Amino acid sequence: MSYADVYQSWKSDPNGFWMQQAEAIDWIEKPSKALFDENAPLYEWFVDGKVNTCWNAVDRHVENGRGAQVAIIHDSPITGTVQKITFAELRNRVAMLAGALQAKGIEKGDRVIIYMPMVPQAIEAMLACTRIGAIHSVVFGGFAAHELAVRIDDCQPKAIIAASCGLEPGRVVHYKPLLDGAIAQAEHKPDFCVIFQREQEVAKLEEGRDFDWHAFQYGVEPSECVPVEGNHPAYILYTSGTTGQPKGVIRPTAGHLVALNWSMKNVYNVDPGDVFWAASDVGWVVGHSYICYGPLIHGNTTIVFEGKPVGTPDPGTFWRVVRDHGVRSFFTAPTAFRAVKREDPNGEYLKKYDLTCLETVYLAGERADPDTIHWAQRMLDKPIIDHWWQTETGWSIAANPVGIELLPVKVGSPSVAMPGYDVQILDEAGHQMKPGELGAIAVKLPLPPGTLPTLWNAEARYRKSYLNTFPGYYETGDAGMIDEDGYLYIMARTDDVINVAGHRLSTGAMEEVLANHPDVAETAVIGVSDPLKGQMPVGFVCLTKGVNRPHADIVKECVAMVRDQIGPVAAFKSAVVVDRLPKTRSGKILRATMVKIADSEDFKMPATIDDPAILDEIREALKSIGLAKETA
Task: Tell me what the pLDDT averaged over the chain comes to.
Answer: 93
pTM, whole model, 2 decimals? 0.86
Look up the CATH number of the domain holding residue 163.
Answer: 3.40.50.980
Q: Is residue 301 part of a domain?
A: no
pLDDT digits (tens, 9 = 90+) for 143-161: 889 889 999 999 999 999 9
Contact predicate 442/475, CB 8 Å: yes
Q: What are the residues whose beta carbons fall under 8 Å from the beta carbon of 348, sequence distance 6 or more?
A: none
Q: Does the residue 615 lie in any domain?
A: yes
Q: What is the residue type of 17?
A: F
CA dist., res. 364 & res. 341, Å (int): 17
Tally the domains of the chain. 2
C-alpha closest to that of 83 among 74, 92, 95? 74
User: Is residue 369 assigned to a domain?
Assistant: no
527 beta partners: 537
Cα 361 from Cα 233, distance rounded (Å): 31
Is residue 623 within 8 Å of 591, Cβ to Cβ? no
pLDDT in tens, 538-570: 999 988 878 899 999 999 999 999 999 988 888
- Position 573 in a domain: yes
The stretches of 13-61 forming alpha helices (DSSP H) are: 14-22, 53-54, 60-61
**pLDDT at 217 exceeding the cut of 90:** yes
DSSP string, 292-346: IIHHHHHT-EEEEE-S-SSSSSSTTHHHHHHHHHTEEEEEE-HHHHHHHHHH-TT
For residue range 341-400, what is the model confidence (pLDDT) as tens digits?
888 989 999 999 999 999 999 999 877 878 889 999 999 999 999 999 999 999 999 999
Domain span holding position 612: 497-623
- Under DSSP, the state recorded for 289 is I
Q: Which among 201, 226, 251 is the end of a domain?
A: 226
Query: What confidence category does residue 632 fall into, taking pLDDT thresholds of 50, 70 and 90?
Result: very low
Tell me if 116 sits within 8 A of 196, measured CB to CB.
yes
- What span, in angstroms and rounded, lies between the C-alpha atoms of 172 and 32? 51
Q: Which residues contact 581 (CB under 8 A, 6 or more apart)?
A: 522, 524, 540, 542, 589, 614, 618
In a domain, 563, yes or no: yes
The helix (run of H) or strand (run of E) holding residue 417 is strand 416-417
For the chain, give the percent of residues with pLDDT over 70. Answer: 97
Residue where a domain terminates, one of 189, 207, 226: 226
Residue 348 included in any domain: no
Out of 226, 241, 258, pick the residue that ends a domain.
226
Evaluate whether residue 540 is within a structural domain. yes
Give the mean model confidence (pLDDT) for residues 427-454. Answer: 94
Give the CATH number of the domain where residue 508 resides: 3.30.300.30
- Domain-embedded: residue 583: yes
Least confident of 127-141, 310-324, 330-344: 330-344
* Rounded Cα distance, 285 and 204, in Å: 31
Give the mean model confidence (pLDDT) for residues 266-283: 97
Q: Which residue has the higher pLDDT, 454 or 496?
A: 454
Cα gap 318→517, rounded to integer Å: 41
> Confidence class of residue 164 from pLDDT cuts 50, 70 and 90?
very high
Q: How far is CA 251 from CA 196, 234, 395, in A?
A: 26, 6, 11
